[in-house]
């Protein structure tokens, strides 16, 4: 046997001894780690399926409530939405609250509708974008059913240049100011909308028409 062959055999024996010793020392840990990895993967898959199933079920219930509303069955729709608010998953409880307020408005229950939107707007657990939308919805209702102060308390904070809802907020404020006899304030708000290149075309057209009516009537100074 050559020296090289002997050395290779010795090295092979050493490697086998090392592997054997390592397995004796850490084999149980390796098996445990593998089991943990498998269980964690199975648990994650199970959790993902559970989340998707709950979200899908809540989505189906919300769609069912919308269908009931479209069929004119508002009372049944409200019951379904109230149940979804109580035990729905994900964003659906908040959507159910918003839709309930809309249905109350359709039924002519304006005070209850405003109360519903105000409750969403005041809920710190709700995403800010939805809270802003609730404030705007309440303000728009109060243009016809409240005072300028009622509208302003909800819409003024949305009229800032950086707010995505500023065009609609300014329109609500402008209409409320006009209704209250504050024509100069109304005209400034409508002119802001017209001058805002980011405002939707239909909003700019409405604002332009309102501004022309105010100027034509000679109400503004």
Summarised one tens digit per residue, pLDDT across range 70-81 is 888 888 989 998
Same domain as 103, residue 135: yes
Which pTM value belongs to this model?
0.73
Q: Is 131 among the domain residues?
A: yes
Same domain as 138, residue 188: no
Question: pLDDT tens track of the chain, all 221 residues?
Answer: 454 554 455 455 556 555 555 556 655 555 555 655 665 666 667 656 555 666 778 878 888 888 888 888 888 989 998 998 888 887 888 889 999 999 999 899 999 999 999 999 999 999 999 999 999 999 999 999 999 999 999 999 999 999 999 999 999 999 999 999 999 999 999 999 999 999 999 999 999 999 999 888 776 55
Summarised one tens digit per residue, pLDDT across range 138-153 is 999 999 999 999 999 9
Q: Domain of 82?
A: 72-146
Q: Is 220 among the domain residues?
A: yes
Contact between 134 and 117 under an 8 Å Cβ cutoff? The reply is yes
Q: Which among 114, 146, 178 is the end of a domain?
A: 146
Same domain as 182, residue 130: no
> What was the pLDDT predicted at 142?
95
Same domain as 166, residue 131: no
What is the rounded CA–CA span in Å between residue 31 and residue 172? 67
User: Domain tally for the chain?
Assistant: 2
Q: Is 22 among the domain residues?
A: no
Same domain as 142, residue 82: yes
What is the rounded CA–CA span in Å between residue 158 and residue 169? 6
Say what angle helices 92-106 and 128-145 make with each other, to 10 degrees.
Answer: 10
Say what angle helices 74-87 and 92-106 make with each other, to 10 degrees.
Answer: 160
Contact between 214 and 178 under an 8 Å Cβ cutoff? The reply is yes
Same domain as 221, residue 173: yes
């Amino acid at each position: 046997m050559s020296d090289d062959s002997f050395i290779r055999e010795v090295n092979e024996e050493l490697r086998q001894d090392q592997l054997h010793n390592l397995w004796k020392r850490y084999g149980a840990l390796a098996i445990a780690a593998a089991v943990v990895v498998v269980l964690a993967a199975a648990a994650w898959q199970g959790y993902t399926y559970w989340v998707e199933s709950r979200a899908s079920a809540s989505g189906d219930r919300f769609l069912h409530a919308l269908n009931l509303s479209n069929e004119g069955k508002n009372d049944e729709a409200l019951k379904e939405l109230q149940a979804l608010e109580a035990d729905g998953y994900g964003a659906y409880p908040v959507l159910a609250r918003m839709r309930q307020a809309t249905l109350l408005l359709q039924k002519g229950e304006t005070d209850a509708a405003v109360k519903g939107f105000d409750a969403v707007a005041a809920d710190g657990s709700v995403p800010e974008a939805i809270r802003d939308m609730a404030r705007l919805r309440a303000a728009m209702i109060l243009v016809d059913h409240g005072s300028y102060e009622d509208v302003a308390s909800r819409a003024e904070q949305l009229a800032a240049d950086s707010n995505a809802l500023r065009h609609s907020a300014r329109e609500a404020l402008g209409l409320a100011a006009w209704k209250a006899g504050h024509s100069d304030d109304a005209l400034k708000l409508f002119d802001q909308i017209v001058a805002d290149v980011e405002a939707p075309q239909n909003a700019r057209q409405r604002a332009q028409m309102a501004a022309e009516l105010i100027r034509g009537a000679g109400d503004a100074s």
